[in-house]
Structure 1
Amino acid sequence: MKTIIISAYNTFISRNLFNTDVLKILKKEEGLNIVIFCPPDKVNFFQQFYGGPRVAFEGLDMDQFIRRPWNKKLYRLSFLLENSQYIKDQRLERYENNKNIAGYLNYKWVGLVSYVLSSILIFHPIYRVFDLFFSERRALKPYFDKFNPDFVFAADSFGEIDIWFMKEARSRKTPLITMVRSWDNTTTKGILRLMPDKIIVNSPTVKNELIEIHDYQADDIFVAGLPQFDVWLSGPTETREHFFARIGADPSKKLILFAPAGAVLSNTDWQLCQILKEALENGSLPENVQFLVRNHPQHPADLSKFAGDPSFIIDNPGHMTKAGDRKNIEFRPQDSEHLRNSIYYSDIVMYVATSLGLDSSVFNKPQIMVSFDGFEKKPYIRSVKRYNREDCLYNLVRCGGTKVVKSKEEWIMAINAYLKNPTLDQSGRDEIVKQHLYKIDGKAGERIANILLSFVKQF
């Protein structure tokens, strides 16, 4: 009997792994014990939805480790060795919040240091050695001693928590495989702090970024696709009539899905909804459309002024594992199905700063990226415009399958164009699938599980 430890501290791990064939296939392996480390307050939730024979959930509060000052410094140092557009904008934002001579000098100095450290590749392995040997490597030793794993799977290669599991595995010479959790992680989370034995990624784009930015060997990268989309091949899980009745939509009207930025990224989400409302009222948009507004799961915008408006259905997705605390959101199987149905029955998908463009491409939906701040004119660093310059969204837009709108006039024009002809930009959407989804064949979860099982059997 062999034992695998899996780290599951990010909200989206349940969506990416546990609601897919990955965990189902691993659970069927008779000679495998699965130990899943997670936040203590999520143990009961995970046990309820994902428990089974030979599956144990170990609650461990990792805040006690990651909040220690020295560990924070090591984590932040990793951002000096990556000079992506996202990280440059983060530095610029900090300067804007501290706009004085000292702030300016710090901004310029840090930018110069980052340029040098990220460009001269010898600094990358030097940092990794420094990070490994001057961190608290053995903090998880008692927990690993308890389960004595044969293999460790860190489900978030760039996670601030997962690095602790990776370091303990490396200290014990335990085989280690990791997964890049999201399409933006390679350009937003700093340099990869520890080189695992193998890495699983969801697309060729992420693979290329691992090679070019993080110095990882191509032969040790497995491109698997996105397992959360495997079941989407069969279409929706409920009829249109049932879905519309459940969310309170009018079945005689078209449905447009809109994902605003959320309260952390923008304070003008309500203005965007107001623009849509006014366009309906003045006839700029046809009267037979309605909007399903999918709020940010963890940082929802205040859209209370649209409550009760029959043209707007406000959706706050996910399940709170702590009452009233949206930061502790998990996605149950029914939550994943709700997103699936929401996109399938939408005629257009619109968003500000999200990965929803990938989801909508599975069902070949016309998509619009909103790149303006409602009724306001904001400087670049305060504007949502900056988000479509971030590396992942910029690469998505370059495929040609997403209309980027920079004013309310462009927005209304794009909506009307797609309502009239949904096949516009079809070749661009095909390119999105090729570059960012790899394969939509229903077998991504199976590929990931088989990679893990083959790796286990090697040792």
Structure 2
Amino acid sequence: MKTICICVKNTKLIQRYFLRSGLLEKLVSSGNVKVVLLVEKGFEKQYQEEFEGERVRVMGVRVGTGRPSFLFRICVLVSENVLVNFAAVRHQIYRSVRRGKSWFLLIPRLLLWRLVGFIPSRLTQRLVRRVVAKISVSSSLSPLFQEIKPDLVFATSLTEWTFDVPILLAARSYGATTAASVRMWTNLGPTSFLLFHPDHLILQNEFLKDMAVRFNFFPKNRIHVTGFPYFDWFKTDQSLPSREEFCRALGIDPRKRCILYADSGIGDLGRDLAFVELFGKLVQNGRLPKDLVMIFRPQPYYAGAAEALKELRSRRFDSVVVDFVNTTNLKYPDPTIDRGNINSFINAMRYSEMLITPGGAILLEAAVFKKPMVVTAFDAAPDVPYWKSFARFYDGTAFYWTDLITTGGVRAVSSPKEFERTISKYLKNPSLDEKGRECLRSRFLGPQDGRATELLAQVLLSLERA
């Protein structure tokens, strides 16, 4: 019987994108497979209650002492400077500013980049990975692997260097086949260095494949593109409410047209509410049609700002409603509540004319529905510093969003006037940029037939040591 271990860092994205997609059921239904979920020590119970079964076992893992060694942390620091390019430099400046660090502290790092830039990137990367492999194999994992005897170890987040990477290194030392994916489509690019090259890399789309080859020199023939298992949910038949039921639940007149504003979480609530106010004023002043309603969908972790959101609901703008996202434990959301939130989003996208957002993974989710998409490449709130603004995500700093825009499937607006004009254009002609959206789906969504989970399971079952 084949034993497959799956690393699960405790985050809702792993649960939603992999485990709750039906992957475990498809693996064990093949007949000759058992699955072991390797979770963080202390979180075993909740995973056991939801996922453990006859051939699915949950085991808590503590990697080393819980704190990486000094030498390993030095390797991580060096790895942040291995990729020398425009986007990487700007990203580090952005991180320093966000953390309130002095510009003076950036000088040593910029000098290091200048020095590293003279060394071939492939050589530097190989050296760092060799050092990491020598110092990071946790002896505490040897008894674990001797007990479960894995044939394959699959890491769901290759950028989790304190959990997934040490487990993969120990698995290779044991002799198991190693495979890995990334948690999000923004986890690979000109700013992302992989500390470990597994035998196989399983990625969600062609964009990630290009990034892995271009910036991390990963062999193309060892990359498998399977699509997003999570998006299978959007394709399955569901007993979703009618448009009338959906609108009335939010207090919207079903005769009105809806626009979804999905907060990305890259700013703060006040900056997102500034766009809501801008939209409300445009409708109020007759610059946009009176039959328009904006559905404002906040990030789950804005639950603490419920009072501000409730105030928004009672403001003078009849053209704005809030679709509150139900939250409990953001690390491990209740499966029923999590599925309810997904269905709520599916409804909002199905019944909206378009999506407006500052950016983020929500763009790929919206692309599934083939609706027009608008990103706000400016701040409606006053006096936002450049390095904290939405605009800086579209000037080359966030390479993945820039690449998304170049498909022609998303329109970036850089002023209130352009915001108004673009909404009006899409309302008059929803098929505008349809070819661009098709290009976007081809490059960023991967297989779109609702069988991504099945394809991922097939790949995992077929993998052998490279």
Report the TM-score when normalising by structure 1: 0.89
Alpha-carbon distance change, 170 to 112 in structure 1, aligned in 2, over 3 angstroms: same
Alpha-carbon distance change, 257 to 142 in structure 1, aligned in 2, over 3 angstroms: farther
1:438 aligns with 2:446: yes
1:260 aligns with 2:260: no
* 3-state secondary structure, aligned to 2:300: coil
Equivalent residues of 2:236, 2:450 under 8 A apart: no
Aligned to 1:386: 392
Q: Alpha-carbon deviation of 1:351?
A: 0.9
Structure 1 CA distance for aligned equivalents of residues 115 and 192 of structure 2: 14
Equivalent residues of 1:82, 1:187 under 8 A apart: no
* 3-state secondary structure, aligned to 1:183: coil
Range moving further from structure 2, 383-392 or 370-379: 370-379
1:153 aligns with 2:154: yes
Structure 1 CA distance for aligned equivalents of residues 40 and 86 of structure 2: 32
> Counterpart amino acid of 2:436?
G
Structure 2 CA distance for aligned equivalents of residues 443 and 121 of structure 1: 36
Q: Alpha-carbon deviation of 1:226?
A: 1.5
Q: Let me know the Cα RMSD of the aligned residues.
A: 2.8
Q: Alpha-carbon deviation of 1:73?
A: 3.2
Of 216, 222, 231, the match for 2:218: 216
Alpha-carbon distance change, 198 to 94 in structure 1, aligned in 2, over 3 angstroms: closer
Equivalent residues of 1:137, 1:171 under 8 A apart: no
Structure 1 CA distance for aligned equivalents of residues 59 and 249 of structure 2: 36
Alpha-carbon distance change, 340 to 42 in structure 1, aligned in 2, over 3 angstroms: farther
Deviations 1:113-156 (A, max 9, x none): 45345x53111111100111122533433433342322111111
* 1:16-165 equivalences in 2 (<5 Å): 16-39=17-40, 42-60=43-61, 65-66=66-67, 69-83=70-84, 86-94=87-95, 96=97, 97-99=100-102, 102-113=104-115, 115-116=117-118, 119-160=120-161, 161-165=163-167
Q: Alpha-carbon deviation of 1:236?
A: 5.8
Calculate percent identity across the aligned residue pairs.
23
1:181 aligns with 2:183: yes
Q: Which runs of 5+ in 1 are unaligned?
A: none
1:4 aligns with 2:4: yes
Aligned to 2:457: 449
Structure 2 CA distance for aligned equivalents of residues 431 and 219 of structure 1: 24
Report the TM-score when normalising by structure 2: 0.88
Of 276, 279, 291, the match for 1:276: 279
Deviations 1:413-452 (A, max 9, x none): 1112111211111110010011111221112111100001
Q: Which runs of 5+ in 2 are unaligned?
A: none
1:358 aligns with 2:364: yes
Equivalent residues of 2:17, 2:230 under 8 A apart: yes
> Counterpart amino acid of 1:233?
K
Deviations 1:156-203 (A, max 9, x none): 122222112211111212111111322111127631111111111111
Structure 2 CA distance for aligned equivalents of residues 203 and 60 of structure 1: 30
Aligned to 2:295: 292
Structure 1 CA distance for aligned equivalents of residues 250 and 86 of structure 2: 38
Range moving further from structure 2, 397-406 or 175-184: 175-184
Range moving further from structure 2, 185-194 or 350-359: 185-194
Deviations 1:85-138 (A, max 9, x none): 5532232135543445x4352243143245345x53111111100111122533
Alpha-carbon distance change, 113 to 340 in structure 1, aligned in 2, over 3 angstroms: farther
